[in-house]
Amino acid sequence: MIDRICISLNARCNQNCLYCHFSEKKNNVHSVDNEFTPEEIKQFCLNLYDYITEYKLPLFKLGIVGSGEPLLSMNSLKTLVEFFYYSEIRDVMRIYVISNGTLLNADIIDFFFFYKNIVELNISLDGDPETNARFRGASYPDLSSYEKKFGCKPRINSVVTQETLLHKTKIISFFRENNFNQINFSKIFGVNDS
């Protein structure tokens, strides 16, 4: 049985990370055409609900990841999370969202806090501000409001490249010293990484 899937809500991003194969932004010419409509989101939720209930799955993981920044599609994200939160399979669903975190505001943090039993926000962060800026530009997410609301740091999704491996001690020390206790390290594939 399939017990996990990942989807992208859009093909737009507010950053231009050097290592990202989406950084060429080929999809952005037609980014509106590549986004889920409200009707498509509802149909996706219904199809997934039917699949999970038909096969009586005890746990299902849905990742909101991919070619765009999901927080640029908050309405679609809200529709999806609320559908499953108020459904009979609420205890079966685990949703995680990977975001660069630069769009976080009080409303978005409140949303994730209210629905924390079903959805988790993961922040893409490649280490200390200097290392992160080398790949992701000057934007560094302000996570203080998140930490204040949740009482902890968010889970981090950190991209590993040849260059970050050269600075691994500095990066790991930064995460430890700043109490980032949940980190997923992901090797980037299919990108020229000297």
Q: What are 62-105's pLDDT values in tens digits? A: 999 877 899 999 999 999 999 999 999 999 999 999 999 999 99
Tokens of 47: 């199809």
Nearest CA among 5, 94, 84, 7 for reference residue 58: 94
Whether the predicted model's global pTM rises above the 0.85 cut: yes
pLDDT per residue as tens digits for the range 83-93: 999 999 999 99
Q: What are phi and psi of 75, to 5 degrees?
A: -60, -45
Binned at pLDDT 50, 70 and 90, residue 26 comes out as low
**Is 155 within 8 Å of 122 (Cβ atoms)?**
yes
